Amino acid sequence: MIPAAFDYYRPKDVEGVIALLQEHGDDARVMAGGHSLIPMMKLRMAEVPHLIDLQDIAALKGIAIDGDTITIGAMVTQHELINHDGLSAAAPILSEAALQIADPQVRYMGTVGGNIANGDPGNDMPGLMQCLDAQIELLGPEGTRKVAAREYYEAAYMTDREDDEVLISVRFAAPTGGYSYEKQKRKIGDYATAAAAVQITKAEGKVATASIAMTNLSDVPVWSEDAGDALVGTTCDTEAMKAAVAAMLGDIDPTEDNRGPVAFKRHVAGIILTRAITRAWDRA
């Protein structure tokens, strides 16, 4: 658990980050909270000769709620998500999910940007951002561009982000209706055995819109459009939920690990989604 030697940089602005990334190419990596990258470096699974720490960049911090648009800076911590009054009112699913990430010590350091950018299938924020249909803002040498969270993930640790780009923020419309983030894990600090993010709006006693995303059940987060569609127009009765679960099961592709075999994970995914829908519908 001793990393190889590396040079450490702490630029004051994003331009400085981009310059370092251009200078060092593949040999440089940015670090937000460090909770994924540092263990990888200590295990020598990631070799990072040039480590760029983002913590001094004020522009990456802060939560902005502008009308119905919410912007979260990449360096906002999970702790801040939980403790931000305006955010808890505008998008309560965020604090509900963040409270299920690791433990307080980790949440003081772990960031939204790091959680989203890395492409780790075990992270909770990617699925959540897909559920919220967030736009991910990337800054590169050519300026900024936006990518939909639903388009961002390609495979485990493979994303649409180029090596010389930095994730600077995520932006989404404040959700309305009912919400739920439901997660089963073996213990505090563990990744999900299965997790579901659900937002539901209701009109005239029926589901008007439904957005459903699943975590750690494929090598990427899974936004299941069909599962959401299965609920629209229904009263979220048992049959509708069964249909949503069936649709979701068609979209996920879990693999066996120490959390259990595939059959177990698929079963639990269905249970967790059913519970998440039930709670979101109750709140809608």
Which residues form the interface with other proteins (CB under 8 A)?
Answer: 1-2, 4-5, 44, 103, 184, 186-191, 193, 258-261, 263-264, 267-268, 271-272
158: β partners:
155
Looking at the Cβ atoms of 39 and 141, the one nearer to other proteins is: 39
Distances from the Cα of 246 to the Cαs of 121, 127, 130, 217, 222, in angstroms?
22, 19, 19, 14, 14
For other proteins, which is the closer residue by CB, 39 or 233?
39
CA distance 49 to 51: 6
How far is residue 192 from each of residues 9, 38, 75, 187, measured CA to CA in Å?
33, 21, 23, 9
Closer residue to other proteins, CB minimum distance, 87 or 277: 277
The nearer residue to other proteins, 78 or 193, going by C-beta atoms, is 193
3-state secondary structure (DSSP) of residue 135: strand
Helices 238-251 and 262-283, packing angle to 10 deg: 130
Min separation Cβ 1 and other proteins, Å = 4
Decide whether 75 or 101 has the Cβ nearer to other proteins: 101
Characterize 38-74 residue by residue with b for buried, 16 or more Cβ atoms within 10 angstroms of its Cβ, and e for exposed.
bebbeeeebebebbbebeebebbbebebeeeebbbbb
Q: Determine how many CB atoms are found less than 10 A away from the CB of residue 190.
A: 15
CB of 268 to other proteins, least distance (A): 6
- Quote the tokens at residue 261: 């075999």
At its nearest, how many Å lie between other proteins and the CB of residue 247?
19
Minimal distance, residue 115 CB to other proteins, in Å = 16
Cβ closer to other proteins: 35 or 161? 35
CB of 19: closest distance to other proteins in angstroms?
A: 28
Element spanning 139, H or E: strand 135-140
C-beta of 239: minimal distance to other proteins in Å? 16
